[in-house]
């Protein structure tokens, strides 16, 4: 499928998610992510910064496309995309190695290169992260056969990243489709502070339709980030027209609500299409093997 068709496929899927009761899916996704986040808050709030997260997603995507992918190839790709600098990537790879999320060994065919393998703990963590999008997205699909459990982490990741790598290669992910969202996604906690602000505003929505948000202290406590971090985030958002500060509280403007819904519709669509493309690829391979055996 060429880039134009992939982009149309993604846009139509995103529009379908956006047109439904997406707030219910956002609430479920936030709850699932927060459950995971609270287990390792200090690790997750750094990992989930958009550019760092994209490095991890690229590592998985390239690995499942070819287990013998040199680590240097991932590094060069991430530098070209502008995710992190070369030095920052080396430090990040070292961090993933030291924390046990990645194993590195010499390439079996060329000792000049290093290849990598995600650890069991990395696979489990990644599966939980992806399921938080898939399960919430399934809520919008109104499946007659009930929700999908996605029990097998390894099978899930292989299927997901087989499809995801095609969107990654085509550069039709969130940072190219909605670049204005990156100002908040690249902060500690990634998209969770954005969702916390949004969902609090929904909870405190007044009868005249205005949105209000919890105090800085309440938000910082929930997300394990400093009060100063939340204040800076809101101050930057106010300069961009997303918020209006009212003393120690924050009022969300409708443009921020639309940005959140668009962001999550794109993320749900990326997750859904990645699974669908991965499933089709698996079916195509099975069909090819079957045809060869018959002939």
Residue 148, pLDDT score: 58
Residue 118, pLDDT score: 97
Between these two residues, 39 and 164, which has the higher pLDDT value? 164
Q: Is the pLDDT of residue 8 over 90?
A: yes
pLDDT band at 249; cut points 50, 70, 90: low
Q: Is the pLDDT of residue 163 over 90?
A: yes
Segment 185-206 shows an average pLDDT of: 83
pLDDT band at 289; cut points 50, 70, 90: very low
pLDDT tens-digit profile of 133-154?
999 999 887 654 444 567 789 9
The packing angle between helices 50-65 and 153-170, to 10°, is: 110
Residue 30, pLDDT score: 94
Q: Is the pLDDT of residue 108 over 90?
A: yes
pLDDT band at 248; cut points 50, 70, 90: low
Between these two residues, 3 and 141, which has the higher pLDDT value? 3
Percentage of the chain beyond pLDDT 70 is 88
pLDDT band at 214; cut points 50, 70, 90: low
pLDDT band at 270; cut points 50, 70, 90: very high
DSSP string, the chain: --HHHHHHHHHHHHHHHHHS-HHHHHHHHHHHHHHHHTTSHHHHHHHTSHHHHHHHHHHHHHHHH-TT-BHHHHHHHHHHHTSS-HHHHHHHHHHHHHTTSEEEEE-SS-TT-EEEEE-HHHHHHHHHHHHHHHHHHHHHHT-TT-------HHHHHHHHHHHHHHHHHHT-SHHHH-GGGHHHHTSTTTTHHHHHHHHHHHHT--TTS---B--HHHHHHHHT--HHHHHHHHHHHHHTTSEEEETTEEEE-HHHHHHHHHHHHHHHHHHHHHHHHHHHHHHHHHHHHHHHHH-
Between these two residues, 139 and 129, which has the higher pLDDT value? 129
Segment 48-73 shows an average pLDDT of: 96
Segment 109-135 shows an average pLDDT of: 95
Residue 205, pLDDT score: 64
Q: Is the pLDDT of residue 184 over 80?
A: yes
Residue 244, pLDDT score: 84
Mean pLDDT score of the chain, rounded to an integer? 87
Q: Is the pLDDT of residue 293 over 60?
A: no
Segment 74-94 shows an average pLDDT of: 96
Percentage of the chain beyond pLDDT 90 is 61
User: Rounded to an integer, what distance in angstroms lies between the CA atom of residue 196 and that of residue 112?
Assistant: 46
Between these two residues, 21 and 86, which has the higher pLDDT value? 86
Q: Is the pLDDT of residue 216 over 90?
A: no
């Amino acid at each position: 499928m060429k880039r134009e068709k992939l982009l149309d496929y993604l846009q139509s899927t995103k529009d379908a998610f956006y047109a439904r009761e997406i707030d219910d899916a956002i609430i479920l996704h936030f709850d699932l992510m927060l459950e995971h986040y609270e287990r390792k808050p200090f690790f997750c709030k750094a990992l989930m910064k958009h550019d760092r997260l994209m490095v991890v997603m690229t590592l998985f995507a390239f690995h499942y496309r070819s287990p013998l992918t040199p680590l240097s190839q991932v590094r060069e790709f991430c530098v070209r995309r502008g995710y992190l600098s070369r030095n920052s990537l080396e430090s990040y790879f070292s961090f993933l190695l030291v924390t046990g999320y990645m194993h590195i060994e010499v390439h079996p065919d060329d000792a000049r290169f290093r290849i990598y393998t995600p650890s069991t703990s990395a696979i489990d963590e990644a599966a939980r992260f992806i399921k938080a999008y898939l399960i919430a997205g399934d809520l919008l699909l109104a499946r007659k056969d009930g929700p999908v459990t996605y029990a097998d982490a390894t099978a899930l990741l292989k299927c997901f990243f087989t499809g995801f790598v095609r969107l990654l290669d085509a550069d039709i992910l969130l940072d190219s489709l909605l670049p204005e969202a990156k100002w908040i996604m690249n902060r500690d906690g990634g998209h969770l502070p954005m969702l916390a602000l949004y969902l609090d505003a929904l909870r405190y929505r007044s009868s005249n339709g205005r949105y209000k948000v919890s105090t800085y202290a309440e938000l910082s406590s929930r997300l394990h980030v400093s009060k100063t971090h939340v204040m800076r985030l809101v101050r930057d958002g106010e300069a961009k027209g997303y918020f209006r500060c009212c003393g120690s509280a924050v009022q969300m403007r409708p443009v921020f609500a639309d940005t959140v819904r668009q962001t999550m519709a794109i993320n749900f669509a990326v997750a859904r299409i990645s699974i669908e493309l991965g499933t089709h690829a698996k079916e195509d391979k099975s069909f090819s093997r079957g045809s060869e055996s018959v002939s």
